[in-house]
Chain A
Amino acid sequence: MARVLLSTVRSYTLKLSALQLPRSTCVWKNTAKHFSTTHRQLSNYKYTEKHEWVAVDGNIGTIGITNYAQEALGDIVYAQLPEVETQYEQMEECGALESVKAASELYCPVSGKVTEINTAVEDQPSLINKSCYDEGWLFKLELTAPSEIDELMDEAAYEKFLKDSEE
């Protein structure tokens, strides 16, 4: 009986989360950026030129894609994440994000060994579109070359990079 109730509640909440918010237009893009900026003030986020972010906590780095990348891809329908315990070099191909028939490669921004993948994103790829800095994180890895982090852009440098490339 309880199981039946639970499954009903579960399917109801799933239906609710399936309601998509309207896609952001140019104006919305800027507001969305500000909102997510305040959200991630606390962590130490670094960025790559290919619009991936790394948040370092001790020796573990969490990896995801930025708002710019998520918008460029469109609605993500499937996330193929790397396998746990696999070692990757910086810039090595480690997975793919599929959106509207285009499969975009995922590149590892820093070298390391994968310790955890975000299974929520496997079940619900739209999390990457809705919350790319928070719930839409992709995977965590144990850094093997922490010095690579210093070569990446910080938030100010990344914002400047975006402005320069828009010209």
Chain B
Amino acid sequence: MALRKLATDALARGVLASESLVGKELSSIPKAWASTSAAVKVKNNRKTEDLKDLPKRTVFISQSSDIFSNLALEDWLYKNWSFERRNVLLLWRNSPCVVIGRHQNPQVEANLSYLESAGVPLARRGSGGGAVYHDHGNLNCTFFTTRDRYDRHTNLEMICRALHLDFGIQAHPNSRDDIIMDHDHKVSGSAAKLGRSTAYHHCTLLVNTDRHQLKLTLNGDKSIKSKATASTPAHVMNLSEMKPGITVEQVLTSVGRAFLGHDQALANGFTLVNPTDEWFPGLGELEAVLRSARWLEGQTPRCTITRSVPIPQGLLPHASNTSLAVTVQAYHGLVEEVRMEDDTEKEGVAELVQDIGAGLRGAPFSSDTFNIIAGRLRFSPALTHFPLPASARPIPTPTRSVI
């Protein structure tokens, strides 16, 4: 197959390239690593199996820093390869971006207006879990195995051993499969996707991330109610705070070497891969799906948002009322229902709100939706006899396009 030829070419190229990449770093890794390697310990614990039956191990390093290409590559490997005879570790890095879990709500998890102004893209991955911020100081590791061999804890233990042996960093995985350093600071979070015969477990590793940017981006609207998977907030920490000067390249090499282990017969080495259609036929289609609004917004679970909408004074029984609590229910990014929250209302107003809801049903839900509702309430033909006070001036329509 074309891919195998490409892969062997890449292997030839990759081995050469990785040697030059790895050459400088190797000299700095302590020699003690070689004799007391974690890989040796793992081998002793294994039941006696024929060497030929054990899966070969390969490390792929992605050459792209585009989140969508990398997620598409992950998806491609998951869908197209069989991992009976091989275990693959994919190491990748991205330019600044926010990645939310499969069943999360973008508005709840991220500060969408900040993301837009800072030019930080938002992506949704195929695995579960919470929202994370990626940038060049973060290393992503994806472990591909068969469904039966899926074992998150072992993968994380391997990473911790590598960090300890190569850099002297004390870290350990906790019950939530986060890697914790310094008692309760999180340096890595995990998520996984389980399919019929294949499974992958991926995790982040904060080496040198911009924590300020992380806080600014993962600052969503928590007033939205839904059954979507919630993120668990945590105190994060960079590895560089424990070991100054550590780079992502060093951690990449360390983790890759630990994964390959000491068995020369089983280790297939490092390979640089380029997530493009030429290398992986069909990747372009997967990437297009990941970029589409249907995937980004269309997977959003049902949620309800309640806001105060300004209305003409006197519309409601109490003369001092200038606003109305309106709830919008959205499903898969589209408006499903609009209703009023106040109990004591005039018949006409409730019906009016429901009519507006009927008109908006199926429209994409965005930050402008409440402005649209306010506008329709104010300028509805039924209310033309209400005098508009100076405070209820029409809100100017934003010039930027609706998300």
Interface residues of A (CB under 8 A from B): 3-4, 50, 77-78, 80, 91, 96, 98-105, 107, 122-123, 125
Q: How far is the CA of A19 from the CA of B301 in the complex (A)?
A: 24
Contact at B196–A78, with CB atoms within 8 Å?
A: no
B129 CB contacts on chain A under 8 angstroms: 101
Q: Using an 8 Å CB-CB cutoff, how does the interface string of B199-210 with A read, 1 for contact, 0 for none?
A: 000000000000
Q: How far is the CA of A4 from the CA of B301 in the complex (A)?
A: 27
Contact at A78–B228, with CB atoms within 8 Å?
A: yes
In the complex, which residue of chain B has the Cβ closest to the Cβ of A125? B227
In the complex, which residue of chain A has the Cβ closest to the Cβ of B201? A102
Beyond the given pairs A4-B343, A77-B229, A101-B192, 17 more chain A to chain B contacts, judged by CB atoms under 8 angstroms and listed by A's residue number, are: A77-B128, A78-B128, A78-B228, A78-B301, A80-B102, A80-B299, A80-B301, A91-B196, A96-B102, A98-B229, A101-B127, A101-B176, A104-B193, A104-B195, A107-B196, A122-B301, A122-B302
7 pairs, A vs B, C-beta closer than 8 Å: A78-B229, A78-B301, A80-B102, A80-B103, A98-B101, A101-B101, A103-B128
B residues 350-383 in Cβ contact with A at 8 Å: none
In the complex, which residue of chain B has the Cβ closest to the Cβ of A1? B343
Contact at B229–A104, with CB atoms within 8 Å?
A: no
Q: How far is the CA of A125 from the CA of B229 in the complex (A)?
A: 11
Contact at B227–A3, with CB atoms within 8 Å?
A: no
- Tell me, rounded to whole Å, the shortest Cβ–Cβ distance linking B293 to chain A: 16
**Chain A residues touching B, majority SS:** strand
> Which residue of the partner chain, among A4, A91, A103, contacts B127 with CB atoms under 8 Å?
A103
Contact at A103–B126, with CB atoms within 8 Å?
A: yes
Contact at A103–B192, with CB atoms within 8 Å?
A: yes
B126 CB contacts on chain A under 8 angstroms: 103
Contact at A101–B177, with CB atoms within 8 Å?
A: yes
B214 contacts chain A at the CB level, 8 A cutoff = no
Q: How far is the CA of A4 from the CA of B343 in the complex (A)?
A: 9
Contact at A122–B229, with CB atoms within 8 Å?
A: no
A99 CB contacts on chain B under 8 angstroms: 128
Nearest 6 pairs of A and B residues by beta carbon: A101-B129, A103-B128, A102-B192, A98-B128, A104-B194, A78-B103
A125 CB contacts on chain B under 8 angstroms: 227
Interface residues of B (CB under 8 A from A): 101-103, 126-130, 176-177, 190-196, 227-229, 299, 301-302, 343
> Which residue of the partner chain, among A78, A91, A104, contacts B227 with CB atoms under 8 Å?
A78
In the complex, which residue of chain A has the Cβ closest to the Cβ of B125? A103
B302 CB contacts on chain A under 8 angstroms: 122
B103 CB contacts on chain A under 8 angstroms: 78, 80, 96, 98, 103
**Chain B residues touching A, majority SS:** loop
A123 CB contacts on chain B under 8 angstroms: 227
Q: How far is the CA of A77 from the CA of B195 in the complex (A)?
A: 18
Contact at B193–A102, with CB atoms within 8 Å?
A: yes
In the complex, which residue of chain B has the Cβ closest to the Cβ of A119? B302
A122 CB contacts on chain B under 8 angstroms: 227, 301-302
Q: A78-B103, A80-B102, A80-B299 are in contact. Are A105 and B193 (CB under 8 A)?
A: yes
In the complex, which residue of chain A has the Cβ closest to the Cβ of B193? A103
Q: How far is the CA of A124 from the CA of B188 in the complex (A)?
A: 30
Contact at A102–B102, with CB atoms within 8 Å?
A: no
Q: How far is the CA of A78 from the CA of B230 in the complex (A)?
A: 10
In the complex, which residue of chain B has the Cβ closest to the Cβ of A104? B194
Q: How far is the CA of A1 from the CA of B362 in the complex (A)?
A: 33
Contact at B196–A101, with CB atoms within 8 Å?
A: no
B195 CB contacts on chain A under 8 angstroms: 104-105
In the complex, which residue of chain B has the Cβ closest to the Cβ of A78? B103
B228 CB contacts on chain A under 8 angstroms: 78
- Tell me, rounded to whole Å, the shortest Cβ–Cβ distance linking A100 to chain B: 8
Contact at A102–B227, with CB atoms within 8 Å?
A: no
Q: How far is the CA of A98 from the CA of B192 in the complex (A)?
A: 10
Q: How far is the CA of A80 from the CA of B193 in the complex (A)?
A: 14
Between A50, A91, A100, A107, the greatest number of chain B beta carbons within 10 A of the residue's beta carbon is seen for A100
A103 CB contacts on chain B under 8 angstroms: 101-103, 126-128, 191-194
B127 CB contacts on chain A under 8 angstroms: 101-103
> Which residue of the partner chain, among B128, B130, B343, contacts A102 with CB atoms under 8 Å?
B128
Q: A102-B127, A102-B128, A122-B227 are in contact. Are A50 and B196 (CB under 8 A)?
A: yes
In the complex, which residue of chain A has the Cβ closest to the Cβ of B150? A102
A105 CB contacts on chain B under 8 angstroms: 193-196
Q: How far is the CA of A91 from the CA of B196 in the complex (A)?
A: 9
In the complex, which residue of chain A has the Cβ closest to the Cβ of B302? A122
A102 CB contacts on chain B under 8 angstroms: 127-128, 191-194
Q: How far is the CA of A111 from the CA of B302 in the complex (A)?
A: 27
- Tell me, rounded to whole Å, the shortest Cβ–Cβ distance linking B261 to chain A: 25
A98 CB contacts on chain B under 8 angstroms: 101-103, 128, 229
Q: How far is the CA of A88 from the CA of B143 in the complex (A)?
A: 30
In the complex, which residue of chain B has the Cβ closest to the Cβ of A77? B229
- Tell me, rounded to whole Å, the shortest Cβ–Cβ distance linking A73 to chain B: 8
- Tell me, rounded to whole Å, the shortest Cβ–Cβ distance linking B350 to chain A: 13
In the complex, which residue of chain A has the Cβ closest to the Cβ of B232? A101
